[in-house]
Amino acid sequence: MPLPLRAKSPNKRAAVLIVAASGRALAAAARRAEYRPLVLDFFNDSDTREICTRSRRVERGLSEGFTEENLFPALAEIMDGEDPCGVVYGAGFEDRPELLERLAQRFALLGNLPDAVRRVKDPFRLAQFCAELKIPHPEIRRKMPSEQKNWLVKSAGGSGGTHVAPASAALAEDEGTYFQRRAKGEPISIQFLADGANTKVTGFTRQWAAPTPGEPFRFGGILRPANPALEAGCQLRQAAAALTAACGLRGLNTIDFLVEVGAYTLLEINPRPGAALDIFEDRKGSLFRAHVDACTGCLPDYPLEFTGAAAAAIAYTRCAIASMPDLEWPEWTADRQNAGSTLRAHDPVCTIKARANEPLSARAIVEARTNLLLERLAHIQKRNNNKGKETTLEDKQAEYQHLGGAGGGPVDRGCREVAGCG
């Protein structure tokens, strides 16, 4: 098999390919770092199109994921006349490193190499690494335990929490699933840069779930800073360093842990940039540039500082929406559904973001904004169902004022009192 192309540190204004289930956060980070993003993802949301040099939706991505049949024709289309410096990938490749190998034959991979992804996303290889490095990790099995109460079933290579369920929900054993004993503790993740041997920690985060009947561990949101106790923080840093050296991790990665007083348990490694990008935003794009440089073997020698607190969450529909209205979206939203889209109950509408002085305040702002947006959508849907009309320009201006885009109304003032100005 041909060797992957070697990544080199590119010049500013270079085009960069971004391939991910949702590419908006990576594209925004790349744009802040003065790259020209060319994005392939499953949504091609309106705000993704606004910040990209080019963007395309991968056909059948939501139903099939990335495949040779849908990925490479889309690449050929978006590449026309461009010479990208490399490809940065996000979620969507954890269970298909063979596609990363194909990409690496054509482009410099600005991320973990396929073999590193295999090492950390194969649950049994990861468990072996943890045992050898004396890193606590839950017991895992291929076969369904006879006593299922304290066990989970997981899909190997999954992400976003939708791949996890109680063991009792498993319909059958198959090659792509495994069973993991439940562990106790508070969920804390460490985000770090790696050059294949060394690490530089960028921060600790905390996630929460947004359960739905069939997906009790579905990703709900994320905030920073998590601020683990000093001893726990040292242990998580040491675990990240040891696994980086053992597995050859590079670029921006996160590791999910459960932390208790005097103990911790490693759950999973996410070997690519993820949801934390939305809470580690910086105006100059230093984190994205540091990711690219780390993939070329150069960890930054400058501090990566992120002041205050930040949170981001997914707003999911409370009921089906036959046709998404054409909203004037508030600036604190991202990943905005395209007007006219058909959404099922519990589908994502957008990402909600907030900044504050303290983490709990940031989360409270996000939750208030999420409720505000979803209540307004429900109002629009009820009104349109009753009147059978399309959203007018006057309606759109009213929604913008209501959601805080123009300010002034009583609901808007109430939101600002709860949410602050972040």
How do residues 185-235 score in pLDDT, each as one tens digit? 999 999 999 999 999 999 999 999 999 888 899 999 999 999 999 999 999
Whole-model pTM: value is: 0.88
Q: Does the residue 331 lie in any domain? A: yes
> pLDDT band at residue 109, thresholds of 50, 70 and 90?
very high
Note down the domain range covering 72.
15-110
Which has the closest alpha carbon to 89: 147, 159, 32, 146?
159
Residues 288 and 317 in one domain: no
Residues 123 and 255 in one domain: yes
Residues forming a β-bridge with 55: 39
Residues 154 and 285 in one domain: yes
Residues 279 and 374 in one domain: no
Instruction: Provide the domain count of the chain.
Output: 3
**Domain boundary, last residue among 295, 325, 353:** 295
Q: Does the residue 98 lie in any domain? A: yes
| Rounded average pLDDT over 326-350 | 94
Residues 122 and 102 in one domain: no
> Cα 378 vs. chain centroid, distance in angstroms?
27
Task: Give the pair of three-digit tokens for residue 2.
Answer: 């041909």
Q: Does the residue 163 lie in any domain? A: yes
Residues 172 and 288 in one domain: yes
Residue 5 CB coordination number (10 Å): 15
Dihedral sign, Cα of residue 260, residue 265, residue 270, residue 271 = positive
Q: Does the residue 31 lie in any domain? A: yes
Question: Average model confidence (pLDDT) for the chain?
Answer: 89
Q: Does the residue 3 lie in any domain? A: no
Provide the CATH number for the domain around residue 237. 3.30.470.20
**Domain boundary, last residue among 76, 110, 144:** 110
Q: Does the residue 378 lie in any domain? A: yes
Provide the CATH number for the domain around residue 66. 3.40.50.20
Q: Exposed e or buried b for every residue in 216-241, given b needs 16+ CB within 10 A?
A: bbbbbbbbbbbebeeebbebbbebbb
Residues 172 and 286 in one domain: yes
Task: Report whether 373 contacts 315 (CB < 8 A).
Answer: yes
Residues 88 and 236 in one domain: no
Under 8 Å CB-to-CB from 327, ≥6 apart: which residues? 336, 339, 396, 399, 400, 403
For 22-53, how does the pLDDT look when each residue is reduced to its tens digit (9 = 90+)? 999 999 999 999 999 999 999 999 999 999 99
Residues 150 and 261 in one domain: yes
Q: Does the residue 7 lie in any domain? A: no
> pLDDT band at residue 409, thresholds of 50, 70 and 90?
very low
Sheet of strand 54-57: strand arrangement: 54-57, 36-41, 15-19, 87-89
Which has the closest alpha carbon to 127: 217, 247, 232, 234?
247
Cα 246 to Cα 362: distance, rounded to the nearest angstrom: 36
Q: Does the residue 144 lie in any domain? A: yes
Residues 176 and 281 in one domain: yes
**Domain boundary, last residue among 249, 271, 295:** 295
Task: Give the pair of three-digit tokens for residue 361.
Answer: 């305040």
Residues 216 and 276 in one domain: yes
Residues 92 and 143 in one domain: no
Task: Tell me: pLDDT of 3 over 60.
Answer: no
For 351-401, how does the pLDDT look when each residue is reduced to its tens digit (9 = 90+)? 999 999 999 999 999 999 999 999 999 999 888 877 755 555 555 555 555
